[in-house]
């Protein structure tokens, strides 16, 4: 009996660590992200895609990433933002890397002329919002969106709320 209890505890700890450190599922709220994402989509985010975030601890240790790599243009990322959000996570497409210059004169963006990313920020277009170009510090990036796991309409009963056309889709 003691062996089973130890096995269950170890499996629970391993599952919790995997869920917290490697892959996390978030829910898309609202239809602003269409056509790629729809309200109710559960997306899987790879937290290791750009390295594991090791945040600042009481000012003692600085911010860093273990096994850090850089996002590339066109990557669909999940990120934290200072704007209040019930889900706490935003999704967008990386449009410019640190040091890149954007010419926004002919684009739909509200930034006039040319703008250059500084060494720590990425320019991200929030999906579904053509006029929403924002700078995201590297420390706010959670990870890369790798999969739409499933879609469920929470206003319907559990067993009838699943959209059969939106299971295990790769975001494009």
Q: Is 136 contained in some domain? A: yes
Domain presence at residue 50: yes
Per the rule left: phi > 0, alpha: psi between -120 and 50, beta: everything else, 130 is alpha
Backbone φ and ψ of 7, nearest 5°? -65, -40
Please state, in angstroms and rounded to a whole number, the distance separating the CA atoms of residues 29 and 128. Answer: 12
Inside any domain, residue 109: yes
Total domains, the chain:
1
Rg of the chain on CA atoms, in Å: 19
Query: Residue 35: is the preceding peptide bond cis (ω within 30°)?
Result: yes
Asked whether residue 107 is domain-assigned, the answer is yes
For residue 85, being part of any structural domain is answered with: yes
Whole domain around residue 141: which residue ranges? Answer: 24-151
DSSP per position, 52-109: EEE--BTTTB--EEET-----TT-EEEE--SS--SS--EEEEEEE-TT-EEE-SSSS-
Whether residue 14 is contained in a domain is answered as: no
Task: Please check whether residue 159 lies inside any domain of the structure.
Answer: no
166 falls within a domain: no
Query: Per-residue pLDDT for the chain (172 aa), expressed as one digit of tens each?
Result: 889 999 999 999 999 888 877 888 888 876 666 778 888 888 899 888 887 776 665 556 666 676 677 888 888 888 877 666 555 678 888 877 887 776 665 555 544 456 666 666 777 766 555 556 777 887 788 889 998 888 878 788 877 878 888 877 777 6
CATH number at residue 59: 2.10.109.10
């Amino acid at each position: 009996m003691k062996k089973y209890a130890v096995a269950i505890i170890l499996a629970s700890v391993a599952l919790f660590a995997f869920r917290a450190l490697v892959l996390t599922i978030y829910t898309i709220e609202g239809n602003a992200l269409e056509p790629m994402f729809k309200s109710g989509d559960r997306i899987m985010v790879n937290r290791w895609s750009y390295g594991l975030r090791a945040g600042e601890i009481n000012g003692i240790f600085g911010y860093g990433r273990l096994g850090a790599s850089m996002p590339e243009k066109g990557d669909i990322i999940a990120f934290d933002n200072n704007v209040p959000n019930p889900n706490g996570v935003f999704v967008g497409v990386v449009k410019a890397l640190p040091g890149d210059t954007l010419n926004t004169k002919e684009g739909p963006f509200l930034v006039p002329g040319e703008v250059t990313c500084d060494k720590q920020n990425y320019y991200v277009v929030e999906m579904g919002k053509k006029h929403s170009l924002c700078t995201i510090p590297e420390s706010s990036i959670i990870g890369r969106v790798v999969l739409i796991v499933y879609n469920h309409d929470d206003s319907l009963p559990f067993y009838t709320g699943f959209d059969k056309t939106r299971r295990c889709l790769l975001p494009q």
